[in-house]
Amino acid sequence: MSVRFTRALVRKPPASVAKGLRAVDRGAPSYEGIAAEHAAYVAALERAGLRVETLPPLDLLPDSLFVEDPALVFPEGAILLRPGAPSRAREAEALRAELAKRFAALVVLPGPGTVDGGDVLTLGDRVLIGLSERTDEAGARALAAALPAFGKRAEIVRTPPGVLHLKTDCAPLGEAAVLTTARLAASGIFDGLEVQIVPEGEEPAANALRLNDHILVAEGYPRTAALLEKTGCTVTALPTAQIAKIDAGLSCLSLRWAD
């Protein structure tokens, strides 16, 4: 199931987090602000029924709290990815031993291509891989070749131009249901699925996170929260103003799986 989870892995924000990558400079986030947002996020994962384990901060890797990007996890095993930003390349290696402890199988994505986990959307047995500034053709093809061993089939799609990651603009709401932006829906990649479109002006809310019967959504997007309430799930709005300054949203702060 794409939205049933029992466990999550997160990494504490490092003191250096204000140096995290950002496409547009909207001012540096504060460490204290990010730490508070991170703590609220962990508490929300726990309320949704997940057992959360927290890894120690890595000061030399400012973006290392965004653990979704260097790895992809399934109940059967994990894949260490190859993050596309040079400053993030070492984050995968830093996760290797932690994933080896927790998963029966650990596959290391072969180079030379790159893939960020933020460009990977799992919908049941389907895995959409979005080509982006971070995920290239060679990386997407290498990941597509690794997925059948996990019972998954890949489809290579395009992350919209100017959008950091595929999941910046979408989130699974079920095995055949997504929340997304109008610009990504227009590409046709979700044709045949149940598609909920975030209201105009609330595009950053598309990176929501459904966990069991809970949905986490960024605070400040009331029309999207109201749309999500209609699913019958418990909807929690979380503060993201600080992590948004370094282009992050809710999915990227954890790796989630069902054991």
Query: H/E/C letters for each residue in 19-32?
Result: HCCCCCCCCCCCHH
Q: What is the number of the residue whose Cβ is closest to ligand CIR? A: 118
Looking only at the bridges linking them, the beta strands covering 7-11 and 120-123 are: unpaired
Lookup result for tokens 């603009």:
169
CB 108, min distance to ligand CIR, A: 20
Q: Could you check whether the bond before residue 112 is cis, i.e. omega within 30 degrees of 0?
A: yes
CB 66, min distance to ligand CIR, A: 4
Q: Compare residues 20 and 172 and give the one whose CB is closer to ligand CIR.
A: 20
What Cα–Cα distance (Å) separates residue 192 from each residue in 132, 177, 195? 24, 9, 9
Q: Compare residues 21 and 156 and give the one whose CB is closer to ligand CIR.
A: 21
252 is catalytic: yes
233 is catalytic: no
Collapsed DSSP state (helix, strand, coil) of residue 227: helix
CB 223, min distance to ligand CIR, A: 22
The first and second tokens of residue 30, run together, are 């504060």
The whole-angstrom separation of Cα 217 and Cα 224 is 8
Question: Which residue in the list 170, 214, 233, 252 is annotated as catalytic?
Answer: 252
Q: Compare residues 37 and 69 and give the one whose CB is closer to ligand CIR.
A: 69
CB 249, min distance to ligand CIR, A: 5
Question: Which residue in the list 165, 170, 214, 233 is annotated as catalytic?
Answer: 165
Q: Compare residues 87 and 191 and give the one whose CB is closer to ligand CIR.
A: 87
55 Cβ contact partners less than 8 Å away, ≥ 6 residues apart: 9, 10, 11, 12, 67, 95, 98
CB 248, min distance to ligand CIR, A: 4
Q: Compare residues 7 and 167 and give the one whose CB is closer to ligand CIR.
A: 167
Site for ligand CIR, rule CB under 6 A = 20-21, 63, 66, 68-69, 85, 88, 118, 164-165, 167-168, 246-249, 252
Q: What is the dihedral of CA 2, 8, 11, 12, to 10 degrees?
A: 120
Active site residues: 165, 252
